[in-house]
Structures are given as structure tokens and as C-alpha cells.
Amino acid sequence: MSIPIVKNKTGLSTWQAESLRVTCFPSSATELNTANWWQDVIGEQPENTVVRARDGFRQDEGTVNSRKVVLGIQPNRIDWLMRPNEEGGELTIGSFQDSLDSFLELMSRWFKISPSLRRLAFGVVLALPVDNRKSGYELIANFLPNVKLDPIGSSDFLYQINRTRNSQLSISELEINRLSKWSVAKQGLARIDLLPEARVSLFPSSDTFSSRLELDINTSADYKDDLPMNKIAGVFLELVDLAKEIALKGDIP
């Protein structure tokens, strides 16, 4: 397998997305009327709904374009999550570019009806398949210009950093956290056989490796006001652009 070196926007299609997430922290003064959110965004009723009225918890979920979508609602937090459909046995939801396009279409509807927000976050888990650990470290090294990484003599590598930026949307004193976590993961599948004696045998399959990038791009908790309602969608797109920049260019100030 040749190792892809990501130097331009075609890299967004090279990265495979394991999950995409939007997390919203509503204003404390906002009363949430959540019953129709799923219907308004997805356009149909959820496949499953769990409600715990005493805790103020609600979870709706369904399948959109063969991907699982989950809406989780708590009194102080709202999450939209896109992840693989477990029933299909998939480990990813497709390329970062394709899955992001689908996710953005849904979120564009959400931000037309979202309540007033104090904070907003965009999270994504990305992976690039590689032949082995050494190849994974060589790939990650291309994205970490300030880290000296020994691909042969190293193991259990994990690099995490937050590099803040000021928002470019003319929102006074709004800083954005750009948290990235880089690693190489080893995954192994197993086959479960039910033998006549009712015993379960596990037969491990060949291991696979991937370079992984976990991103949490979020507005700073130090921002004291609610986000301007007319700029919430723009803030979200700014978070997405910053995530794409890291996926393309690596760890840069």
C-alpha cells in the first residue's frame, strides 16, 4: 500500500471519517422545545426514541444515507452525531469529504431552528489506513513538523495539542480552541463460532493499522456572552474550516 501524502484538498477524500459531531451548549435562559427537532432536520420520524423525563434526557436516532444519525438532548447540552451503521458492520462513514457534505446539509437545517447558544463545538475522528505501525508514524510525521518522531524505535505515540485562534467573524473576544490528537491505532477483528458444546471460540483475524486524527474545534468557555444568533451558522462553518485545515496541513499555529 502506498502511503498518501496529504498536501492539498484532495486529502479530504483520503481521510476516512469514523464519526462527525456537533455539540451545542444552550443559553441558560433558553426553554427547549425538543419534540420536533428531529422531524424538522431529518424530514421524517426517528427510528428509535428514548426519553427520560425526570432527567430531561431525550435521544432520537435513525439512518440517513446508510449512516447512523443520533440526536442527544440533555438540559445543558445538545449533540448531533453521525457514525457508522452497526448493522452494516462498517467501521467508517466514508471519506471525510463525502460524509462532511452529508452532515453539513443536515446541520444547515439545524442552525435555522437551534436555540440561543453559549458555546459550540465540531468534533471529528479521522483515520488513514496504513500497512503497519512504522508506515503510520511516517505518515503522521508529515503532519507534525515540530515533532521529531522515530518511526522504527517508537511505540505508543500520542500527540495532543490545543492551538487557539481568534474568530474571523467580527465577534469581539471570541477565541476558538483547535484541539487535535494524533496517534496510530492497531485494530483486530475476531470471528465468534458457536461450537456444538455451546462454547464460544474466538479466532483473531489479521491486524490492521491506521493513522488517526481526533479533532475538537470549539468556542472558548471564556467567552461570556451568548453567541450572536445571526452568526451561529457562520461560527459553525468557521469551526469546520479550521478542522479541514488541520486535516490538510497538520499541526500549524
Residue in the structure block whose three cell numbers are 479541514: 244
What pLDDT, on the 0 to 100 scale, is given for residue 11? 76
Quote the cell numbers at residue 215. Answer: 479533532
Q: What is the DSSP string of the chain?
A: -PPP---STTHHHHSEEEEEEEEEEE-TTPPP--TTHHHHHHSS--SEEEEEGGGTEEEEEEEETTEEEEEEEETTEEEEEEE--GGGT-S--SBHHHHHHHHHHHHHHHTTT---EEEEEEEEEEEEEESSHHHHHHHHHHH-TT----TTT--S-EEEEE--EE-SSS-TT-EEEEEEEEEEEEEEEEEEEE-TTS-EEEEEEEEEEEEEEEEEEEE-TT--SPPPGGGHHHHHHHHHHHHHHHHHH-S--
User: Residue 118 carries which side chain, given as an amino acid letter?
Assistant: R
Q: At residue 49, does pLDDT exceed 60?
A: yes
Q: Classify strands 165-166 and 57-64 as parallel, antiparallel or unpaired.
A: unpaired
Q: What is the pLDDT of residues 135-181, one digit of tens each?
A: 999 999 999 999 999 999 989 999 999 999 999 999 999 999 999 99
- Assessment of whether the complete model's pTM goes beyond 0.75: yes
- How high is the pLDDT of residue 126? 97
Per-residue pLDDT band at 4 (split at 50, 70, 90): very low
Nearest Cα residue to 16 out of 126, 98, 125: 126
What separation in angstroms does the CA of 109 have from each of 105, 128, 210, 225? Answer: 7, 30, 33, 24
pLDDT in tens, 184-241: 998 654 444 444 554 444 445 557 899 999 999 999 999 999 999 999 999 999 999 9
CA distance 230 to 154: 48
| Side chain identity at residue 58, one-letter code | R
Residue with cell 463545538: 121
Mean pLDDT of 43-55: 95
